[in-house]
């Protein structure tokens, strides 16, 4: 009955300009259907003012305007009227006296206005007058809202249009009140009031933070199931343009919270989930994913005022001036589907009490092994403990571990924790790994080397890793990969983690995927895997055994972390693909740029693009460039890998032989890492490229840059 694609379905894959135009079109369509044309502030008269306990209640009559009369109640703490105001639109069965707290609620949290007023907001509650308008005798068992809707239709006006217009009028009045702070004005609607809030917010000329409670779903299935809403839930004609999820998405860039009860008898979770996920995607495409919040609550067809109050606190704390979205350095994304799946898995652990080293962790290890090019994967609680465990498995105590001068501090600290001394080696310029020539020199002059660690900087596996493997084999020394950056990276088809005797991955939040905190150990050797499993659990012989064969520690990954990691692991292919697409776009945008040279993948190497790196020409002031990008272009670069060499960290002073590391030093001083993440838009990349060129040109024209600079990187 309701098939056919709405005319204004969200244009997936479009660029920012098309999306902005789509957003305008949806708002215009809603305005048109609302038949709301007046921009004026309605006339309001005060009917009554009184105290109810520590709250003050004003009964107001909204009189003028084309939409006739309606009443509303303003409620606020008596001590001092707050400047933050929320418009409250109740459901069709929400009795006004209950919503404002004059009568005890017959449904949990029905007293939304009272609760929000007690939480420190002035609330203005519209009395929709949808109850008790007809006597029982007149109703004769018929649905009252339908009767009113039909009556309105006789006047050529839809009930939804009328109610939503009232809501816009009330918003306008609030915004014009001198005591209201315009950047602290919000709207909350429950059920029918939620749909009205949605329309009102779309028709209103400014983005206002909005809470939609118990109204998520799809008009299509809602009306195919039952039409009891009586023509009041939907603006007649709206499906020509868009269904609920797209309308919700069109609220971007306003802060939006969608509340839904997991046992809502009217709006099934399945449809609500589709709507929430779709709206979240549209928010992401508007570059404001952080302004969309979904809250699946343990309730039926209700509203949670506390959750709403916390949301308004947050939304109102963002000053109106920072409304321009920044290009973030990284973005950590869990889709609504992923979040639901995580919560289900966690719930299962809570029900069964299986909270660590359980079935989720096993499933996670199995999924991880597919990505690491090894049959064995051992999950631990951090990347650092993964490195330490690997070093303990191969045995380094009392001897020396060689590692690159350019790495994260944890590579060295894990070696020290495993009982080794550290020796640093310079970086090789082709693939940014540890320099095989430097390693050879160290092996020739020392007899205490127990292991060599290479680090896949930024996600690049160096093509020279073959030389390292041969060298280590020749000396009978294990090669360990610190692959913290490189899950999903390849070299000549071989996966990161499959090159050394063992490898360590990190699942820290900023890494390519995350489990909150966590790490993984990859190994081809099942005996090594067994020792790693024992070490992560205090060197125990078995999970239930109370016999400790070795000194390990508690490096276990909990089921909760495994549940999070598993969801992200399932997105890894998509993440890497999206990052690689973004990287190709940067290659094109930055290819001929004055003042910098991009770090390209060496032949055979396929990076996961954990980082997109570029080298600045000599003389470019990196700090100045970064702050200019942030302040003038809203672009935040991501952290370097690394700006200070590991060996120069104060904690390591005097713990190794001082040496020069010219390649690593040059790289540390001159590279930058551009924002890159799955879901990055072309417009965001354009902004980064445009900002970079403009700011590099500023520095070039100041004459401080010697260009072209000496290239550290042989492959560029
Ligand atoms: C992140 C990282 C680590 C440490 O991982 P955690 O999970 O934070 O303990 C180790 N080495 C490198 C190169 C890293 O980037």
CATH number at residue 134: 3.40.50.1820
231 and 95, same domain (yes or no): yes
Distance from the alpha carbon of residue 483 to the mean position of ligand 1, in angstroms = 9
Give me the sheet containing 85-89, strands edge to edge.
44-52, 55-62, 70-77, 122-127, 85-89, 185-190, 210-213, 256-261, 292-297
The tokens describing 358, both together, are 């359980």
Strands 490-491 and 494-495: antiparallel
Do the domain assignments include residue 11? Answer: no
The DSSP-derived string for 168-193 is HHHHHHHHHSTTS-GGGEEEEEETHH
Do the domain assignments include residue 608? Answer: yes
433 and 508, same domain (yes or no): yes
Phi, psi of 476 (to 5 degrees): 65, 35
Q: What is the pLDDT of residue 43?
A: 85
Q: What is the pLDDT of residue 331?
A: 87
What is the distance between the alpha carbons of residues 16 and 21, in angstroms, rounded to a whole number?
9
495 and 601, same domain (yes or no): no
The CATH code of the domain that includes 562 is 3.40.640.10
127 and 196, same domain (yes or no): yes
Distance from the alpha carbon of residue 523 to the mean position of ligand 1, in angstroms = 18
For ligand 1, atom 7, name the residue with the nearest CA: 383
382 lines ligand 1 (CB under 6 A): yes
The DSSP-derived string for 554-590 is B-PPBHHHHHHHHHHHTTHHHHHHHHHHHHHHHHHHH
Instruction: Choose which residue among 380, 382, 383, 557 to substitute to test ligand 1 binding: the one with the highest number of ligand atoms within 8 A of its C-beta.
Output: 383
| Angle between helical axes of 622-633 and 682-701 (0-180°, round to 10) | 130
Distance from the alpha carbon of residue 337 to the mean position of ligand 1, in angstroms = 28
519 lines ligand 1 (CB under 6 A): yes
Distance from the alpha carbon of residue 315 to the mean position of ligand 1, in angstroms = 33
Q: What is the pLDDT of residue 713?
A: 47
Q: What is the pLDDT of residue 326?
A: 78
364 neighbors 562 (Cβ within 8 angstroms): yes
158 lines ligand 1 (CB under 6 A): no
Atom of ligand 1 nearest to the CA of 410: 10
Going 196 to 198 to 203 to 204, the CA torsion angle's sign is positive
Do the domain assignments include residue 707? Answer: no
260 and 130, same domain (yes or no): yes
Distance from the alpha carbon of residue 484 to the mean position of ligand 1, in angstroms = 5
344 and 477, same domain (yes or no): yes
389 lines ligand 1 (CB under 6 A): no
457 lines ligand 1 (CB under 6 A): no
Atom of ligand 1 nearest to the CA of 385: 9
Q: What is the pLDDT of residue 323?
A: 44
508 lines ligand 1 (CB under 6 A): yes
Q: What is the pLDDT of residue 324?
A: 53
The tokens describing 501, both together, are 């005797």
456 lines ligand 1 (CB under 6 A): no
Instruction: Choose which residue among 389, 409, 484, 564 to substitute to test ligand 1 binding: the one with the highest number of ligand atoms within 8 A of its C-beta.
Output: 484
Distance from the alpha carbon of residue 74 to the mean position of ligand 1, in angstroms = 54
Distance in Å from the first CA to the final CA of the chain: 60
Distance from the alpha carbon of residue 407 to the mean position of ligand 1, in angstroms = 9
For ligand 1, atom 6, name the residue with the nearest CA: 383
The tokens describing 433, both together, are 């790994």
402 and 541, same domain (yes or no): yes
507's CB contacts (< 8 A; 6+ apart) are 383, 513, 514, 515, 516, 517, 518, 519, 520, 561, 565, 568
3-class SS string, 398-424? CCEEEEECCCCHHHHHHHHHCCCEEEE
559 and 589, same domain (yes or no): no
Distance from the alpha carbon of residue 668 to the mean position of ligand 1, in angstroms = 17
Before 253, cis peptide (omega within 30)? yes
Distance from the alpha carbon of residue 410 to the mean position of ligand 1, in angstroms = 6
Q: Residue 305, Cβ neighbours under 10 Å: how many?
A: 25
515 neighbors 569 (Cβ within 8 angstroms): no
Task: Read off the DSSP letter of residue 106.
Answer: S
Residue 638: strand, helix, or coil:
strand
Do the domain assignments include residue 10? Answer: no
What is the distance between the alpha carbons of residues 41 and 259, in angstroms, rounded to a whole number?
30
602 neighbors 466 (Cβ within 8 angstroms): no
Which residues does the chain have with pLDDT short of 70? 1-3, 36-40, 64-68, 131-134, 138-142, 155, 226-231, 319-325, 336, 704, 706-716
Do the domain assignments include residue 4? Answer: no
Do the domain assignments include residue 429? Answer: yes
Q: What is the pLDDT of residue 335?
A: 75
Burial of 133 (0-12, 13-18, 19+ CB in 10 A): middle
Q: What is the pLDDT of residue 338?
A: 86
122 lines ligand 1 (CB under 6 A): no
Distance from the alpha carbon of residue 550 to the mean position of ligand 1, in angstroms = 25
What is the distance between the alpha carbons of residues 41 and 52, in angstroms, rounded to a whole number?
28
Q: What is the pLDDT of residue 70?
A: 86
The DSSP-derived string for 493-532 is TEETTSSSSEEEEE--TTSSS--SS-EEEEES-HHHHHHH
514 lines ligand 1 (CB under 6 A): no
Do the domain assignments include residue 266? Answer: yes
289 and 367, same domain (yes or no): no
Domain count along the chain = 3
The tokens describing 118, both together, are 């007690």
Only one residue has tokens 């359980």, namely 358
For ligand 1, atom 15, name the residue with the nearest CA: 484
Q: What angle do CA 157, 252, 204 make, to 5 degrees?
A: 35
The DSSP-derived string for 654-682 is TSS-----HHHHHHHHHEEEE---TT--H
Do the domain assignments include residue 638? Answer: yes
389 and 416, same domain (yes or no): yes
122 neighbors 86 (Cβ within 8 angstroms): yes
Closest of 450, 464, 453, 447 to residue 405, by C-alpha: 453
Select from 571, 593, 618 the last residue of a domain.
Answer: 571
Atom of ligand 1 nearest to the CA of 511: 1
What domain range is 643 assigned to? 573-701
Select from 548, 571, 594 the last residue of a domain.
Answer: 571
Q: What is the pLDDT of residue 69?
A: 72
85 neighbors 184 (Cβ within 8 angstroms): yes
410 lines ligand 1 (CB under 6 A): yes
Q: What is the pLDDT of residue 710?
A: 43
Q: What is the pLDDT of residue 321?
A: 41
482 lines ligand 1 (CB under 6 A): yes
Q: What is the pLDDT of residue 716?
A: 33
Q: What is the pLDDT of residue 709?
A: 44
50 and 153, same domain (yes or no): yes
Closest of 515, 535, 513, 531 to residue 523, by C-alpha: 531
The tokens describing 357, both together, are 């080293």
Strands (E), 43-137: 44-52, 55-62, 70-77, 85-89, 122-127
Instruction: Choose which residue among 379, 380, 384, 664 to substitute to test ligand 1 binding: the one with the highest number of ligand atoms within 8 A of its C-beta.
Output: 384
596 and 520, same domain (yes or no): no
504 lines ligand 1 (CB under 6 A): no
What is the distance between the alpha carbons of residues 364 and 348, in angstroms, rounded to a whole number?
15
What is the distance between the alpha carbons of residues 421 and 450, in angstroms, rounded to a whole number?
10
Q: What is the pLDDT of residue 715?
A: 41
What is the distance between the alpha carbons of residues 21 and 124, in angstroms, rounded to a whole number?
32
The CATH code of the domain that includes 584 is 3.90.1150.10
**How far from chain centre, in Å, is Cα 177?**
36
Q: What angle do CA 241, 244, 246 make, to 5 degrees?
A: 65
Instruction: Choose which residue among 459, 480, 508 to substitute to test ligand 1 binding: the one with the highest number of ligand atoms within 8 A of its C-beta.
Output: 508
Atom of ligand 1 nearest to the CA of 518: 7
349 lines ligand 1 (CB under 6 A): no
Q: Residue 443, Cβ neighbours under 10 Å: how many?
A: 17
Select from 571, 589, 613 the last residue of a domain.
Answer: 571
What is the distance between the alpha carbons of residues 122 and 188, in angstroms, rounded to a whole number?
13
What is the distance between the alpha carbons of residues 104 and 166, in angstroms, rounded to a whole number?
26
454 lines ligand 1 (CB under 6 A): no
384 lines ligand 1 (CB under 6 A): yes
Question: Each residue of 230-279: pLDDT tens digit?
Answer: 567 888 889 999 999 999 999 999 999 999 999 999 899 999 999 999 99
What is the distance between the alpha carbons of residues 673 and 703, in angstroms, rounded to a whole number?
24
407 lines ligand 1 (CB under 6 A): yes
Atom of ligand 1 nearest to the CA of 457: 13
């Amino acid at each position: 009955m309701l098939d056919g694609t709405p005319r204004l379905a969200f244009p997936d894959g479009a660029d920012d300009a098309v999306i902005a135009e789509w957003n305008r079109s949806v708002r215009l369509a809603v305005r048109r259907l609302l038949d709301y044309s007046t921009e004026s502030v309605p006339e309001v008269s005060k009917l009554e003012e009184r105290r109810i306990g520590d709250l003050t209640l004003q009964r107001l009559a909204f009189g003028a305007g084309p939409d006739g009369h309606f009443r509303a109640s303003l409620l606020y703490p008596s001590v001092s009227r707050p400047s933050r105001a929320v418009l409250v639109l109740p459901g069709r069965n929400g009795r006004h006296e209950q919503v404002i707290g004059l009568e005890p609620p017959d449904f949990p949290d029905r007293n939304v206005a009272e609760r929000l007023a007690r939480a420190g907001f002035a609330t203005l509650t519209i009395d929709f007058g949808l109850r008790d308008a007809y006597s029982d005798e007149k109703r004769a068992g018929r649905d009252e809202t339908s009767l009113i809707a039909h009556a309105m239709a006789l006047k050529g006006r839809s009930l939804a249009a009328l109610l939503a217009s009232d809501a816009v009028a009330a918003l306008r009045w609030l915004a014009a009140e001198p005591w209201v702070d315009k950047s602290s004005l919000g709207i909350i609607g429950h059920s029918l009031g939620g749909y009205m809030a949605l329309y009102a917010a779309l028709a209103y000329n400014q983005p206002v933070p909005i809470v939609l409670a118990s109204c998520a779903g799809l008009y299509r299935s809602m009306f195919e199931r039952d039409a009891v809403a009586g023509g009041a839930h939907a603006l007649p004609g709206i499906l020509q343009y868009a269904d609920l999820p797209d309308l919700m998405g069109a609220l971007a860039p306003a802060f939006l919270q969608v509340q839904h009860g997991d046992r809502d008898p009217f709006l099934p979770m399945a449809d609500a989930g589709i709507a929430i996920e779709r709206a979240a995607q549209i928010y992401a495409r508007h570059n404001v994913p952080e302004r969309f919040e979904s809250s699946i609550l343990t309730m039926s067809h209700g509203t949670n005022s506390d959750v709403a109050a916390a949301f308004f606190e947050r939304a109102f704390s963002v000053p109106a001036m920072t409304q321009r979205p920044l290009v973030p350095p990284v973005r950590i994304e869990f889709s609504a589907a992923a979040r639901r799946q995580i919560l289900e898995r966690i719930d299962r652990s809570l029900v069964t009490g299986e909270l660590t080293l359980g079935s989720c962790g096993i499933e996670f290890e199995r999924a991880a092994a597919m990505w690491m090019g090894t049959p064995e994967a051992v999950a631990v609680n951090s990347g650092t403990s993964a490195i330490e465990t690997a070093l303990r498995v191969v045995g380094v105590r009392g001897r020396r571990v060689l590692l690159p001068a350019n790495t994260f501090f944890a590579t060295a600290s894990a070696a020290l924790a495993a009982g080794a001394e550290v020796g640093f080696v310079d970086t090789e310029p082709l693939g940014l790994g540890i320099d095989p020539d430097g390693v050879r020199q160290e092996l020739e002059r020392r007899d205490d080397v127990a292991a060599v660690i290479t680090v896949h900087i930024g996600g690049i596996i160096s093509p020279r890793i073959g030389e390292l493997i041969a060298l280590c084999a020749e000396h009978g020394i294990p090669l360990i990969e610190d692959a913290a950056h490189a899950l999903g990276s390849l070299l000549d088809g071989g996966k990161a983690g499959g090159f050394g005797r063992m490898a360590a991955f990190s699942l820290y939040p900023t890494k390519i995927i995350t489990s909150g905190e966590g790490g993984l150990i990859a190994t081809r050797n099942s005996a090594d895997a067994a020792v790693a499993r024992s070490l992560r659990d205090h060197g125990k012989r078995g999970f239930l055994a109370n016999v400790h064969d070795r000194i390990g520690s508690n490096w276990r990954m909990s089921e909760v972390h495994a549940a999070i990691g598993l969801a992200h692991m399932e997105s890894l292919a998509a993440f890497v693909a999206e990052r690689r697409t973004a990287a190709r776009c940067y290659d094109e945008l930055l290819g001929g740029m004055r003042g910098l040279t991009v770090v390209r993948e060496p032949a055979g190497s396929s990076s996961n693009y954990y980082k997109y790196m570029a080298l600045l020409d000599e003389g470019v002031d990196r700090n100045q460039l970064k702050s200019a990008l942030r302040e003038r272009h809203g672009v935040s670069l991501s952290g370097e890998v690394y700006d200070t060499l590991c060996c120069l960290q104060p904690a390591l002073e005097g713990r190794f032989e001082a040496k020069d590391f010219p390649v690593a030093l040059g790289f540390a001083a001159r590279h930058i890492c551009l924002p890159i993440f799955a879901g990055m838009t072309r417009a965001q990349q354009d902004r980064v490229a445009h900002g970079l060129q403009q700011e590099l040109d500023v520095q070039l024209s100041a004459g401080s840059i010697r260009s072209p600079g000496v290239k550290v990187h042989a492959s560029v």
